[in-house]
Amino acid sequence: MNTLKLRSQLENFFIEDIGEQDITTDLIFADETNGEIVFLAKDEGIFCGEEVIKSGFKLLNNDINVEVLVKDGDRIEYGQQLALVSGKIADLLKGERVVLNLIQRMSGIATLTNKAVITLNSDFTKICDTRKTTPGLRMFEKYAVRCGGGFNHRFGLYDGVMIKDNHISFAGSIERAVAAVRKQAGHMVKVEVEVETEEQVVEAVNAGADVIMFDNRTPDEIKELIKLVPAGIITEASGGIQLSNLADYGDTGVHYISLGFLTHSYKALDISVKVKWNKGEE
């Protein structure tokens, strides 16, 4: 993740949560008493969020000591200690929920992605995400997909051309849409076209598409359509693909399978924060 962007987003998350002050914490812990908290896994899965823990607490107080005991992408077990954080109690309490919210969600996505990769079980076809992410959390969610063994599709509308059905309808044809892009875009910009029929595949190929995405097609349909695509053009399958039928798409020959559910239908991994010691009680 981009360090500057991570820090900026974490600052905004803390401002949203803390506001003017943490009334509860500031009234109880007005002194400089120190303590330590531990992050504990309450489920098994793939961990993600190492830098969130490190950067998050340091933003609140650079004197806080953070020791993350696992690496991003590591498989974790129930009851496992994930991180130890010590410092001023007030800062620990102010930071724990924002940090916990993020790493639970990131670990949930990484775990689901890893399950999809294992389910597909392919040395050729790769799992990737989509733009169906939570507004404001795209950087975190797409990073989590990578930690789970998946790959990233485009990050936004700005870093890749993807001509979808509505673009084609408004433009009048695939040929017109691709031509308009080719006339203005630089040579570093790849062009992906969404197709559903044999006619659209042929048109996309002839128009010079770099990537062809088979949208909402069955595995058998893709096996036939992909025969029309010359070597050198990247292929992708998307739409209507779930864990239950994912393995069926592994034999279609596509390079990528993009899955929206990785970032819009995941279950956050259960992680908790507990007090490990309190200097005030020693």
Domain shared by 134 and 106, yes or no:
no
Domain shared by 260 and 277, yes or no:
no
Domain shared by 98 and 212, yes or no:
no
DSSP-derived secondary structure letter, 260: T
The CATH code of the domain that includes 32 is 3.90.1170.20
Domain shared by 40 and 158, yes or no:
no
132 as an active site residue: the answer is yes
DSSP-derived secondary structure letter, 230: P
Per-residue pLDDT band for 30 (boundaries 50, 70, 90) equals confident
CA distance 225 to 195: 10
Domain shared by 88 and 25, yes or no:
yes
Active-site residue identified among 7, 11, 22, 97: 97
Domain shared by 82 and 204, yes or no:
no
Active-site residue identified among 26, 215, 221, 248: 215
Split into its structural domains, the chain has a count of: 2
pLDDT digits (tens, 9 = 90+) for 88-100: 999 999 999 999 9
Range of the domain at 71: 3-111+267-281
115 as an active site residue: the answer is no
How confident is the model at residue 277, as a pLDDT?
78
Active-site residue identified among 132, 182, 223, 276: 132
How confident is the model at residue 281, as a pLDDT?
55
How confident is the model at residue 280, as a pLDDT?
54
Active-site residue identified among 5, 42, 75, 164: 164
Domain shared by 249 and 137, yes or no:
yes
Domain shared by 121 and 238, yes or no:
yes
State mean pLDDT over 17-39.
93
The CATH code of the domain that includes 187 is 3.20.20.70
Domain shared by 178 and 200, yes or no:
yes
Q: Percentage helix, strand, coil, to 5, in the chain?
A: 45, 20, 35
196 as an active site residue: the answer is no
Spell out where 33-184 has E strands: 34-41, 45-46, 65-68, 75-76, 81-88, 126-128, 161-163
